[in-house]
Structure 1
Amino acid sequence: MSQGWQLKEGAGQYHVVSEDQIWTAIMKVLSPQAKKTTSYKFALLRAIIENLYKSNGDLEIHFNMLAQSFAKLYWNLVVRNGYTQGPRTQIEKELLLFKEVQSIPDGVTFDSIPEEVKGVLVKAIERNIIHKDVVGALFADTDGILYGFVKKERKVKLTPSGYGFLLKYQTTVFKLVNYELAKFLQKKNSLVTHGILLEEIENITQRESLLQFQQLLVENSGSSCFYTGRSLDIGKKSIAVDHFVPWSFVHSDELWNFVLTTGALNSSKGSKLPAERYLEKIDERNRLFQQVGDVYVKQYMESYDFIHFVKLYKYAELNGFEKGWAPVS
């Protein structure tokens, strides 16, 4: 039988699988006893979590979405922060060569790279890393419990059991993956303190600026505070784009999860969940967005489904996020 990375496709376990079986499969990948010459499996688990809410109705995630997550994570680790993955690691070679060819200065973050240039890098990582071996390797190590895949179609298809498990335990799995990734990288970067590295990894893919989303929200839903209905002064820095369900749970920036508010209310809310009564209000707003003709809005709203959104909200509460925040009258 071919090794996992050599497989062209793999059928996932689409029958019901117990949570204990899934935990066993994931912990096998994360275990210190598992042989790891690269950090790819950690990065792929993390990328799947970051793209859970971008999967379609068939629970499919396309390779380019996983490659986008890979590119951002490794660019910020290797190029921005200078953490080596090992001298013979393919992704490090890809990134450093790309930086040289594109004449990108030291210290530039992934979000600062022009979109057209970024797209070239993502395609290269999809072709040379994701497609070549990573998807098949993690599939084999988890016995197809989390997903199946078809390289020709450039997508993974999450199993219902795997999808439900990651929704339910994503905060725990995300933290475990980050911890093991930090341990792996510390061995390659011995002068770096583990605690500092772990903190950086947890937040390394968070978007630096939400101005693009602020503009889309203002243009398509007006300039009032979502929570209070009061008008916002768009010219002031006090305006804020808030993740309705906190970024620290979603790990993804989605237009359907963004609302406008003031900087003060955004700080007050922090990582809390808004009161349940706001769910209907954000759904009403999102249904209006689905009718907007703007091509970017349409693209961002493709993955929106209210039942799915409520499930996201409930699972965030289950993962320990405090529910019930509302502005003080």
Structure 2
Amino acid sequence: MTDQADGSATGRRPTMIDVARAAGVSLKTVSRVANDVPTVRPALAERVRTAMSDLGFQRNSVAANLRSGRTTGTIGLIILDLANPFYSTIAAAAAEVAERFDTQLITASSGWDTARERELVLDLCERRVDGLIIACTGGDQSYLDEIARGTPVVFIDSPPSGPRSDMVLLDNRTGTRDLFRRLIAEGHREIGTITDTLNDFTMRERLAGAREALREAGLESGRHAARIYSDRPRSAGDAVGAMLDGPHPPTALFCGNNRILLGAVEELVRRRSRLRLAAFDDFEFAPLLPHPVTVVSYDTRALGRLAAEMLFQRIGSPRTDPSTYVIPTYLIDRGTMIADTG
């Protein structure tokens, strides 16, 4: 096989021209094979397909643009849950950056499913997007070396397992540690925690921050702990009820995210409880919650904006070393106590 001007050598994605050079055929032949035109001799078609496989070439649904040397003018964003305001805010911020670069943002949701995440990456790469932003699941992303070879990728909110890439992350550990330090400074020694799946990097980091603060104060970690296996707020409410009805109820409660917080507030209001409440994740209607709560807040839009800006920078400079940007957090008091009229 002849010399290959492929993406691995140049830092760019392989094109039809690279395939034609590697297979020793004309560009027209490569185009016919890529578009499944049946007039190409089987042996010749097989040679072209072998070159495509060796180079990591993906079928181009907008080949006319690439042949003229233009990009597709699209980038992909794979998030975990379109219904969650956290991710919709990220998508909106990323779309604004894409618009500045005269680029369309294609958004899809993996639903926390690693197999679905891989399918979406493959689909977007087949569409020849110019780059990808991925909020990854807890699985292994090493498949990107095969599927997305040459496609710039930026990871958001959670680091990948496998490839070295640009990342934009939250300072989950510091935010939670600062929150627990405040609760301890207020005199709380029995602090309950409610979390969901520990397969999630962000939740593991938040728990790590909590444990650091408890260790600093010489307090026991995990005495009042519950994990819920559903994202329904009612599941969190049930967990709160079980803690409060136990023989040694906590004096303060930490909710690992805003969905858990909603369930906790519902239960506390139902019981007319004044339990000290804290949580990770601020959100638009948090000031209206009918129970005081201290939340770990941050600039959600900055996550999407910085990820998109890093992606376009990576598209323009594909050979620079990967970088990581960490979004800082801060504490803010939300909600209000409704007067007991009973």
TM-score w.r.t. structure 2 length? 0.29
Higher strand content, 1 or 2: 2
Greater RCO (Cα-Cα under 8 Å, separation 6 or more): 1
Over alpha carbons, which structure has the higher Rg?
2
Higher helix proportion (structure 1 or 2): 1
Alignment TM-score, normalising by the size of structure 1: 0.29
